[in-house]
Amino acid sequence: MTDLASNYPTHITQLQQRTKQVLKRENLDGLVIHSGQEIKVFLDDYGYPFKANPHFKAWLPLTNITNSWLLVNGEDKPTLIYYQPVDFWHKVTSLTESYWNEFFTIKILKIASEVEKLLPYDKKGFAYIGEHIEVAKALGFTNVNPEPVLSYLHFHRAYKTPYEQICMRKSNVLAVKGHQAAHAAFLSGMSEFNIQQSYLKALEYSENETPYGNIVALNENASILHYTALEKETPCDLRTFLIDAGANFHGYAADITRTYAFKQNKFAELITRMDQLQQNAVAGLRPGKCYVDLHIETYREIGQVLQEFGLINVDADTAVESGIISTFFPHGLGHHLGLQTHDVGGFMADERGTHINPPTEHAFLRASRLIEANQVFTIEPGLYFIDSLLTQLKESKYADMIHWQNVDAMRPFGGIRIEDNIIVHQDKNENMTRDAGLK
């Protein structure tokens, strides 16, 4: 933990400065950040898996503590109201000594409903930040999730401090360990369900500890972009494996995808070519460039790949102009990554939250912002054979641009996505995923 401990003070200083600036701008006294609380299943007495408020876990690595609060004003030592009930029904997470404790005034809360005694009496100058609006109003907050404050915080969250970068490197190391175990499970002939279990076992995770529901897809299922069904029977003919799976470290996410062929064939060659394309896109990340432009460049290169492999019978420029590439690549190149898998701030032009719309022909882009140093992105181009989109294309005026026999031969393989997590530095790009050993 030495590297975390040595970089954490600067991280807290940066968060304090951001808080001070936005409070001054919005004429507020402070922020009251709620970690969140358990949400019960309808008509039952147990809850959904708890996910901490990202604004809370930005300050300290407490990702599973409900009913806790942070009081920050950018100048004074932040106050942590730490929920530690007396409870014989559940295991209580005790407060432990760690590198972050000294940076907070810590108050123990034993009964969640008595938090008002520890909050500011006059709440007029304080803004509540969290998802439980009814709780905020019941406590007397009138300023709840003010948009100017959230816009400011979201815009600046795109710039990762050295401490945050360390956390994200560690989350990539964890995820790579899981990916390697999953790949071995695929080659041994396991089902989607058992590959998922191999992934979780390698990380010593429960299924609720990943930052998102893992995509573990064999054969045609790889064409379903958000596939999570996890079939328990292994297909008779194993052809391909696509895994999109991540990990968490202190609340910071890794989000990694790989695609593998079971045999060396034309589809395996297509994976190799897409890997080259993906690395070209990674190299294109540089400060001062718009993420939209990088997406469009990659979009055109996918058109070149389609031509090279005989899947279309027109050149890349014609494929771009007609839009037929979107049948094979229907999503954006990537997104910001951090405290959330799809981290906030990707469409912001400034700290006021001015929105930058992506081009209408690339509406599924998750980032349209200028690329800058200390930002973290995923780069995840894909090439898929999706039945519904191919049917639409076949019925369109562009149908004769497609080599349908070659496309149909690829349908049983599903599709390809390759995704790395990248820190943009002023003079280089740091590929955390490949540095952690996943090729």
Q: Specify whether domain 2-157 bears CATH 3.40.350.10.
A: yes
Domain with CATH 3.40.350.10 in the chain: 2-157
Element holding 1 (H helix, E strand): none
Helix axes 162-187, 192-203, angle to 10 degrees: 140
d(CA 173, CA 168): 9
Domain with CATH 3.90.230.10 in the chain: 162-435
Residues 2-21 have a mean pLDDT of 97
Residue 37 DSSP SS3: coil
Residue 360 scores a pLDDT above 70: yes
Element holding 39 (H helix, E strand): none
Residue 387 scores a pLDDT above 60: yes
Cα 1 from chain centroid (whole Å)? 24
Architecture of domain 162-435: Alpha-Beta Complex (3.90)
Question: Looking at residue 90, what is its pLDDT?
Answer: 79
Mean residue pLDDT of the chain comes to 97
pLDDT bracket for residue 1 (50, 70, 90): low
Tokens of 344: 């906030």
pTM as predicted = 0.96
Cα 96 from chain centroid (whole Å)? 28
Return all residues near 188 (Cβ < 8 A) that are at least 6 apart.
Answer: none
Instruction: Residue 99: name the closest of 129, 60, 65 by CA.
Output: 60
Return all residues near 360 (Cβ < 8 A) that are at least 6 apart.
Answer: none
Query: Could you read off the pLDDT of 147-167 as tens digits, one per residue?
Result: 999 999 999 999 999 999 999
Residue 89 scores a pLDDT above 80: no
Tell me the sheet residues that pair with 33.
70, 129
Cα-Cα end-to-end distance for the chain: 27
**DSSP designation for 341:** S
Tokens of 97: 């000594």
Question: Looking at residue 94, what is its pLDDT?
Answer: 84
Query: Could you read off the pLDDT of 428-437 as tens digits, one per residue?
Result: 999 999 999 9
pLDDT bracket for residue 92 (50, 70, 90): confident
d(CA 422, CA 379): 7
Question: Looking at residue 235, what is its pLDDT?
Answer: 96
Give percent of the chain with pLDDT exceeding 90: 96
d(CA 350, CA 401): 42
